[in-house]
Amino acid sequence: MVFWLITTVLAVGTCALLALALWRGHDGARPAAEFDLQVYRDQLAEVERDRDRDVIAEEDAERLITEISRRILAADKAMQTEKTNVRSPQALRYGVIAALLLALVGGSLTLYRGLGAPGYGDLALATRIERSDEARKNRPDQATAEASLPAPVDSPDAPAEYLELVKKLRQAVATRPNDLQGASLLATHEMRLGNAARAHAAQAQVLRLKGGDATAEDFASYGDMLVIAAGGYVSPQAEGALAAALKKDPKNGVARYYSGLMMLQVGRPDVAFRAWATLLQDSPDDAGWVGPIREQIEELAFRAGVDYELPALKGDALAGPSAEDIENAADMDAEDRSEMIKGMVARLSDRLATQGGSPEEWARLISALGVLGEQDRAALIWQNAKDVFGDRPEALDVVRNAARELGMTQ
């Protein structure tokens, strides 16, 4: 309430000053004929003085007085007409001032409602931290987050034979709950089918069977599956898995990335920025989390109140097959070369689908699919890229160049 009162007083005060200047400007305006009238009167007085001193003849003086008097009458008439035009009616002046008040006060409030945050009071840093801690403590659990999403289904593109094998694997793991290898394989294949919920259930079984021998990667994979199953939300369960991964390996990239994301989700962009900026500095360009971080960290820095410039890539090490990779495969036989490229394309495609990536990586994927002759898949990737980068024209142009080379766009 105090904010609105202060801004309204400032706007009205500014408008009052402008209105006062407008009002005084009209009151002080003088018609041009008034200056002419003063000149003629001075001339008439000078002629009278010259006649009294016998400087000019009586006949000439009378002629000059008559001419000047005629001009005085004409100037006086013109002055009365100009005064009517110069002095605006009061109703008009009131209308102008009211319009000014509406433009300044109403326009400012309308602009603030569009660009500002009405109803969101300024908070002290301690209050913001307190609210963030409360949000972190009371946020929904994993089950609640998954329940709000559509039920997971097997990928419709998966071959029927593959689906049948996975079903058998599920049955085998269900009947042999202590089979570590089976649980590990099931977690991997469930993720390939897009069933993150089933995958993290299998990975939880892996962690149970490994016990103290579980690695940081095991916990990080579990956290990754939990986040994906929750639609990108880092639940308390996922946070626990990530903390366990970082305890075993403080440099684990997946755990560091999702830990930063969690802090962003609970209203601590400052902590999230520091985590991501450090991770970006420590990571190679082809790390799976580099692309998502580069896409978001500038906005995150703005929210954290930090003046930040996105660093350049350390090198051309984007994931996926590059032109050099394909050239180096020239010595392989056709089948091996094709399998190598397909493997790299599959890894890049999976990562972009689950974690996102930079526009350069999307462009590289489209180009690689073109090399493999998979024009239909490349076209689908291009359509997906338009949705992902639709609000970032510069990033979309990078992907568009790759699509244009394959004749997908004009």
Is residue 187 within 8 Å of 221, Cβ to Cβ? yes
Angle between helices 334-355 and 359-371 (to 10 degrees): 150
- What does the pLDDT look like over 105-115, one tens digit per residue? 777 777 776 66
The residue extents of the domains of the chain are 2-115, 131-304, 323-405
pLDDT of res. 169: 94
Six-digit token pair at 139?
């946020």
- 243-275 per-position pLDDT tens digit: 999 999 999 999 999 999 999 999 899 999 999
Cβ–Cβ under 8 Å, residues 360 and 318: yes
Please tell me which residue, 365 or 144, carries the higher pLDDT value.
144
DSSP state of 285: T
The Cβ of residue 235 has, within 10 Å, a number of other Cβ atoms equal to 23
Q: What is the pLDDT of residue 327?
A: 57
Greater pLDDT, 145 or 23 = 145
Helix (H) or strand (E) holding 403: helix 393-405
**The dihedral formed by the CA atoms of 227, 231, 234 and 239, expressed in degrees to the nearest 10:** -20
Mean pLDDT of 208-221: 95
Instruction: Taking each helix axis as running N to C, give the angle between helix 180-192 and helix 196-210, from 0 to 180 degrees, rounded to the nearest 10.
Output: 160
Q: What is the pLDDT of residue 114?
A: 66
pLDDT band (50, 70, 90) for residue 92: low
Q: What's the pLDDT band for 139 if we cut at 50, 70, 90?
A: very high
pLDDT at residue number 113: 67
**DSSP state, 213?**
G
**DSSP secondary structure code for residue 150 in this structure:** P
Residue 288 has pLDDT above 60, yes or no: yes
Question: Rounded to 10 degrees, what is the CA torsion of 124, 132, 358, 410?
Answer: -80
| pLDDT surpasses 70 at 226 | yes
What are the CB-based long-range contacts (under 8 Å, 24+) for 247-251? 248/215, 248/216, 248/219, 249/215, 249/216, 249/217, 251/282
Quote the CA–CA distance of 359 and 396 in Å, as a whole number.
Answer: 7
| pLDDT at 71 exceeding the cut of 90 | no
User: What backbone phi and psi angles, to 5 degrees, belong to 333?
Assistant: -75, 165
CA atoms within 13 A on the CB side of 112: 15
Task: Determine the pLDDT at residue 30.
Answer: 59
Band the pLDDT of 124: cuts 50, 70, 90.
low
Instruction: Give the pLDDT of residue 381.
Output: 86
Q: What is the mean pLDDT of residues 15-26?
A: 69
- For residue 49, the SS3 value is helix
**Predicted local distance difference test score (pLDDT) of residue 142:** 94
Average pLDDT over residues 161-168: 91
Least confident of 101-105, 252-256, 273-277, 381-385: 101-105
* CA–CA dist 329, 111 (Å, integer): 58
What pLDDT shows up at residue 208? 95
pLDDT digits (tens, 9 = 90+) for 307-360: 888 887 765 444 455 555 555 555 566 676 667 777 777 877 776 766 667 788
| Closest listed residue to residue 258, CA positions, set 284, 224, 214, 222 | 224
Per-residue confidence (pLDDT) for residue 49, from 0 to 100? 85
Enter the CATH code of domain 131-304. Answer: 1.25.40.10
Tell me the average pLDDT across 399-405: 87
Show the DSSP H helices in 53-89 as ranges.
58-86
